Structure 1
């Protein structure tokens, strides 16, 4: 029994050995490739364990270098992780919580500053480690080469200031969002100034931007400026605020500001625009640019005068201040015309009224272009107005050689100049003209006295009187010459009496012209209508001394002569004009008084002698009523061809002088109304 048990145990033992042999065979099969791999890696493993075989002192020294580099590197990694933790907040919309967004952004800026500073420190320590490893030959050359390439990249980032590499562009994206928020705030609160549809004046409006909005804009600016984005902020601000001013001005319909010198020949064609220009310019300065000036100061306060004044200057230029000034310049470049003098004075008055505002708003160095344009415009206005004024006398004298009106009426030059000089002496223009002439003389280091202005006006009126005398002598018909002088002396008396010019000329001067009118009226009546009554002589008809037939022949003969003379006189004078209504009606009355009573009496007494004759209509041609009606149809002005009397005083295109002031023969003087 004992031997069987031993055999069983031996068998089991043998089976176990066989299983182990199989397992060992399988393990050997698997170990073959691993042994080959170990053999392949032996060189690199040898390099890796080289420090273990290095000098002990060298190994101890490198530990210190590594410890000093690990501290900054660990801090950098920690902050870098914190930066990425801010990403969600900074990529959200800042309008929900602007203050919170700005606080987070500031944390990002501080983190990036820390990263920037400590990355440099880490690079220095890493460079020190590499240098030590190179000197002590502690690592493989391939490993050192990789370290050198890595450090080179870090140095380039450091030297080029590429902070975006530290945060993956998070800061730039956040700043872009802030710029968008800056633009949105401005857009949402930049509303054109409301206009009243009735008078184009600004209604009561609040401050351009609420204080709370200004504070938010300043908070945004603080972060953007800290990141060198001031210029972009200013660009956005100027774009939106200048657009807002333009929208406010659009309601004024300022298309006329774009008018070019080629689009009009004289000031009259844009006279109405010049009046609007002054009102619109005042509105723009006092309501729009004034508000933008204050707002620029409020929003950009603390950044320096140059910053906010430069911002305001750009807004003013882009919003249209230069267009206003250009329009004034265009007027100065138009052809010379006496009416242009008045319009230049209007322009000067508008600019002078706003002088303090211009100096305050546009006085800084940033507004140099606006200042230069304004100074140039003022000089052009003053020089142009002075030149036209001092040339008036010469231009009036030049008209002396032109023919007078063929209808004997008041020449348009006379009515124009008398009205024109009155306007120059009036309260609206005299102070402005005086100031312009004073400034113009001061530029020449000459003094101006008011008597120079007064004397110039008196010389112009004296030249008008001399023109009238010269014109009266150009008529071939002396009777028409007398009518012409009657017309014009009455015009000078009536239309200057009680005026500034009339007061300047004096009562004796006015009385003299009234007497001249009476004198020439008397001559005119005596030489014309006054001769008709003598043709209706009663001589030989008193007692019918020669018989009824003889009396009838005498009446026929005298009536025929009367009719022929009357018809010829009426025909000739039917084209003549008495400009003034009062003088015309007075002249009718004198003619009627001179003729009609005599004719009526004659026909009552002797008309029956011819009325029964078969040819009576040849002799009893008129009744007293028909004569009076015909007389009161004389001297009426012709319908006006032009709407204004100003057009006769235009400049010659080629010579630069005024056109002939020869009157339009188909136009009534304004005094006929």
Structure 2
């Protein structure tokens, strides 16, 4: 500095001559240090000023190409800010303050560009899946500051850090460093604007690729069920990824980049995700408002279960006040879906009660209503946990109390489990009462008992082989298995009563040859009639079929064998005709084994060989079939 200038600064005569006048600022040692900081910042800031420098600065990236210089750049801005604060306090009229302000504007413009470049160029590494994979909600702010990023990533994070993770962590740290600097310098608004624009476009695009559509209720209501079901399937595939990966990853990124300001990170995350999240969680509510039919029950439960399972994450990710609408929308969808399920359960029960088909099932087999209802209930039981939540506060209203003998298992300790258990027990009871009415349509009482045995056995099998077993309990199964046996015994007594009555009650009392011959004739006629009647009847369940045959054979063959062995030879020898003794005891067992396949073997003609052959060739498919 020229000597004259030094004098002007340090020895201005006017300073001492008039103490009452405003004192000019004396250049102090502190001024010198501050000025040096401004000069140093000036060199580095203008070096990377793309408006006043070469094309190199326009295309190069400070944070990518020269990380050490980027660190110096941020430090120089901090020093520049300190200088500005110093002159505001010590000499607010100083031209140095104006110069520092101009440099700060140039530096912030550069940081805006760097911030945008990092967001765009590292898009693949900052996608929510990558972020959420190597980060956790518990350590959202654990990403290292920019100053530490010059260190080797592998040494700090271990060998498990992949190249993708390393780049992602470095990009997050760079963004955080820039954001901290801009916010600290009073330029947070510019930084936030860039961040919101870039990240919202990424979130919206990700939701689009997941199949999340902006559909209003009117559009959904007009869809055919087949189309709507495809939309629901797509939503179910999308929602888990959207919550656990997309929104969670975005929250982690926001929390890290803007860790310096709770208000800013809340604003960013809310503005980036709110619209997409409301669209996502609004879809189930619209579905729930549509017309309710039994076929929609399971998809409705799928929607409810998806939201219920994800609720802890939803509540945690969207825990800001500004995202309360997202939480409210998810809750509203749950409420609406629960209401829809309760309505459909009520309609389902009503449909069972109102079913008034008079069509008889050939052969006393399983009624289509039994198959439909039990398949439906068995599938419902797979949603037992979800249904427990839905019906917990929904008391069962019925015209008469649930019979104690019907639901014999001890009530579960969990009250909600008890509620759904009773609900299932009641639905099955409604079905069984309906089947009792349908059994009365058969003119043959024995066939009506066979019908009841077949249908109740089907019900019991469904309970045993599904989640209903755990909801209704073993006692229920035991009691209803006993009912099946009772129906079978009633059937046996009714259908074979005439055959049993054709045989003598007491063989020890003896009978004449002609009485024995007449007894054989009555037995032949009664057995053929009973066999012909049952030749078209069915027992689909193999176990029940064998039990009925074995029971009948034990009683019938045992009594007939004793009579046959005692009078066969005498009748043949004295009467001289083999037509009186038509069946051997073994024949009866063969004929009985041919029953209950519904094959109409020989239209009632008794031929063990032909009937068995007919069954072997025609019934294999029916026995091999399986229905759920």
Task: Report the TM-score when normalising by structure 1.
Answer: 0.52
Q: Select 2:66's aligned residue among 82, 85, 97.
A: 97
The 5 Å alignment of 1:419-498 reads 420=377, 428-429=385-386, 431-435=388-392, 437=394, 460=427, 462-487=429-454
**How many Å separate the matches in 2 of 1:563 and 1:486?**
28
Shift in Å, 1:384: 0.5
Shift in Å, 1:465: 4.5
Query: Residues 246 and 488 of structure 1: is their aligned pair in 2 closer, same or farther, counting only changes over 3 Å?
Result: closer
Shift in Å, 1:310: 3.9
SS at match of 1:91: helix
Q: C-alpha offsets along residues 609-663 of structure 1, whole Å, 9 cap, x if unaligned?
A: 76999996x777655444323312322489xxxxxxxxxxxxxxxxxxxxxxxxx
Contact 1:306 1:366 in 2 (8 A): no
Shift in Å, 1:227: 9.2
Q: Which residue of 1 aligns with 2:556?
A: 595
Query: Residues 281 and 316 of structure 1: is their aligned pair in 2 closer, same or farther, counting only changes over 3 Å?
Result: same
Shift in Å, 1:590: 2.0
**How many Å separate the matches in 1 of 2:540 and 2:576?**
43
The 5 Å alignment of 1:355-374 reads 355-364=311-320, 367=323, 370-371=326-327, 373-374=329-330
Query: Residues 328 and 405 of structure 1: is their aligned pair in 2 closer, same or farther, counting only changes over 3 Å?
Result: farther
Q: C-alpha offsets along residues 179-218 of structure 1, whole Å, 9 cap, x if unaligned?
A: 334411344554855999xxxxxx9989797543223224
Q: Select 2:498's aligned residue among 531, 548, 569.
A: 531
Query: Residues 273 and 241 of structure 1: is their aligned pair in 2 closer, same or farther, counting only changes over 3 Å?
Result: closer
**How many Å separate the matches in 2 of 1:236 and 1:514?**
66
**How many Å separate the matches in 1 of 2:471 and 2:348?**
16
SS at match of 2:364: coil
Shift in Å, 1:588: 0.4
Contact 1:421 1:457 in 2 (8 A): no
SS at match of 1:595: helix
**How many Å separate the matches in 1 of 2:386 and 2:545?**
33
* Larger RCO, structure (CA 8 Å, separation 6 or more): 1
- Residue correspondences, number: 472
Query: Residues 607 and 283 of structure 1: is their aligned pair in 2 closer, same or farther, counting only changes over 3 Å?
Result: farther
Contact 2:129 2:246 in 1 (8 A): no
Q: Which residue of 2 aligns with 1:584?
A: 545
Contact 1:422 1:501 in 2 (8 A): no
Q: Which residue of 2 aligns with 1:285?
A: 243
Q: Any unmatched runs of 5+ in structure 1?
A: 1-77, 115-162, 197-202, 439-448, 639-665
Contact 2:352 2:430 in 1 (8 A): yes
**How many Å separate the matches in 1 of 2:239 and 2:246?**
10
SS at match of 1:374: helix
Q: Which residue of 2 aligns with 1:573?
A: 534
Shift in Å, 1:381: 0.6
Tell me which moved more, 92-101 or 493-502: 493-502
Q: Which residue of 2 aligns with 1:27?
A: none
Q: What's the Cα RMSD here? A: 6.0
Query: Residues 98 and 405 of structure 1: is their aligned pair in 2 closer, same or farther, counting only changes over 3 Å?
Result: same
Q: Does 1:351 align with 2:307?
A: yes
Query: Residues 361 and 436 of structure 1: is their aligned pair in 2 closer, same or farther, counting only changes over 3 Å?
Result: farther
**How many Å separate the matches in 2 of 1:535 and 1:433?**
60
Q: Which residue of 1 aligns with 2:343?
A: 387
Q: Which residue of 2 aligns with 1:142?
A: none
SS at match of 2:363: coil
Contact 2:196 2:271 in 1 (8 A): no
Q: Any unmatched runs of 5+ in structure 2?
A: 1-41, 85-101, 134-159, 396-414, 600-620
**How many Å separate the matches in 2 of 1:194 and 1:178?**
18
The 5 Å alignment of 1:534-553 reads 534-535=501-502
Query: Residues 298 and 493 of structure 1: is their aligned pair in 2 closer, same or farther, counting only changes over 3 Å?
Result: closer
Which structure has the bigger radius of gyration?
1
Shift in Å, 1:473: 1.9
Q: C-alpha offsets along residues 273-327 of structure 1, whole Å, 9 cap, x if unaligned?
A: 59x948x745653344323212112113446535654446535766x88457636
Q: Select 1:299's aligned residue among 257, 270, 274.
A: 257
Q: C-alpha offsets along residues 313-365 of structure 1, whole Å, 9 cap, x if unaligned?
A: 535766x884576367547747422x755654454344234323212323446
Contact 1:596 1:628 in 2 (8 A): yes
